């Protein structure tokens, strides 16, 4: 799980770099905040699930603690993390559409993924797979789309 988190943070950095100077501060703030909240909830859900697995291997399994831990993990991952993933997808799609950083069908598909994540991700576990699939599609689109011409800055200007 830590490596998945590192990869997701790297993805956030790549998206911000792709947008460059033209990114919208409002949507970029929502994008960054929702991405970090998604990761925090995902990590906490992983810690809770790992604790449950460790507790299940012991001799004195408390049914009440197990039920509480299972419900907490499911709420963190299926409800809250997926809602933050939806906000992340909405904000990235909006910024990508405004800046034309990727082909237009990618942000429009992101709107669909976000809608599904907002409405049914808690009840239908299959819907949770849409977020990593969309991140993969966006990543491929970023790799295949040439970066926009950016003005040279003092940090990148080598003479």
Checking if the pLDDT of 159 tops 90, the result is no
Q: What does the DSSP assignment read for 53-70?
A: HHHHTSS---HHHHHHHH
91-150, pLDDT tens digit by residue?
Answer: 889 888 888 878 999 999 999 999 999 998 878 888 889 999 999 999 899 888 776 543
Please indicate whether residue 87 or residue 153 has the higher confidence score (pLDDT): 87
Q: Spell out the domain ranges in the chain.
A: 2-144
Identify the H or E element spanning 27.
helix 25-56
Buried b (16+ CB within 10 A) or exposed e, 132-153: eebbebbeebbeeeeeeeeeee
pTM here is 0.79
Contacts of 28 (CB under 8 A, 6+ apart): 16, 19, 91, 95
Region for residue 102 given its phi and psi (left: phi exceeds 0; alpha: psi -120 to 50; beta: otherwise): beta
% of residues, the chain, pLDDT over 70? 88
pLDDT at residue number 74: 87
């Amino acid at each position: 799980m830590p490596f998945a988190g590192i990869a997701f943070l790297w993805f956030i950095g790549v998206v911000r770099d792709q947008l460059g100077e033209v990114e919208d501060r409002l949507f970029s703030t929502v994008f960054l905040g929702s991405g970090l909240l998604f990761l925090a909830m995902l990590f906490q859900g992983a810690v809770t699930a790992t604790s449950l697995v460790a507790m299940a291997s012991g001799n004195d399994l408390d049914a009440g603690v197990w039920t509480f831990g299972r419900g907490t993990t499911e709420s963190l991952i299926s409800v809250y993390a997926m809602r933050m993933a939806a906000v992340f997808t909405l904000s990235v799609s909006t910024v990508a559409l405004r800046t034309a950083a990727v082909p237009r069908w990618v942000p429009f598909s992101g709107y669909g993924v976000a809608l599904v994540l907002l409405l049914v991700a808690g009840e239908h576990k299959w819907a949770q797979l849409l977020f990593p699939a969309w991140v993969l599609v966006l990543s491929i689109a970023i790799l295949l789309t040439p970066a926009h011409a950016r003005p040279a800055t003092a940090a990148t200007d080598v003479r």
